[in-house]
Amino acid sequence: MDVTHAGIGRALAALATAVLLAGCASSAASDPQPSPESPAGPVSADAYLCMGAQIPRSAIENPVRIADLDETGRDAIAGATDDAGSPLELEDPEEWIVATRSDTLIILIRTLDETRDDEEEFDTRAEDDHETIELSTELWEGWAVAASNGGCVLTVQLDGLGVPYVWLDPDFPPDPESRELRLMVLDSQCGGDIDMPERIEVVQLDEGESEVGLLLGTQPLPEGGYECPGFSPTPYTLELDEPLGDRVVVDLSRVERRELV
């Protein structure tokens, strides 16, 4: 599943460090917090997000493969190099979708195999369902690898809000009589004691006959510096209109359908 050259490896390491520093969170409160009344953040009708990379919805709904490009496009990808001058080697090139193409930027994206184990503790790395590679002509002459995330979660894009990881609190699993969902929310910026859960917003809550769909967002941190010594999720309680019954809970932020576990 890897892109096999040294420059990508260095890019991944740098990106992982940046994400860790940006995502560090203070220790979460021990008790679940009530849901505040919050305005909804509208969902973008045009684009998805995958670790900061904007992916046009049209690219996912009507995918264009590398083989579908004209000769100029195919040659650009085939001739792309890393900072050491090594060629880009794509494993299974037929799996990649051309999400964006311009004179200076090409973004490739592909779906990753399922790695989540519902019996194991929640792991953000096991949630990755896509991988992206960005090629640019603005680094040096010719096409070059500008970024590669190695793995990301393809989500909706919210206006002015971040999209957090959300899962069911294993210490308070719901039962058919439950009228509330005890959740764990992991902010992509800095959670825990940094104004959480006040920054969590309920964007959408759909209670259907067979499932409960929810979409949460997080307000951005105010400007300034923050110390985030940990990376802890925040307990959060969501009230339901009716008992859960045998309905499943679905995370509506995900493009690939995901049930909360």
- pLDDT tens-digit series, residues 116-164: 666 667 777 777 889 999 999 988 888 998 888 778 899 999 998 999 9
Give Cα 30 distance to the centre of its chain: 26
Counted residue by residue, the chain has a size of 261
pTM of the predicted model, to two decimals?
0.75
2: number of Cβ within 10 Å: 12
Q: Which pLDDT band holds residue 254 (cuts at 50, 70, 90)?
A: very high
Beta strands per DSSP E along the chain: 43-50, 53-56, 97-101, 105-111, 130-136, 144-148, 154-158, 165-168, 180-186, 200-207, 211-218, 234-239, 248-251
Whether the per-residue pLDDT at 237 is higher than 70: the answer is yes
Write out pLDDT tens, residues 37-69: 334 457 887 899 998 889 999 999 999 999 999
Q: How far apart are CA 125 and CA 115, in angstroms?
A: 9
Stretch 80-89: mean pLDDT: 86
Write out pLDDT tens, residues 155-178: 999 998 999 999 999 999 999 999
Calculate the average pLDDT of the chain: 79
b/e for 99-127, b at 16 or more Cβ within 10 A?
bbbeeeebbbbbebeeeeeeeeebebeeb
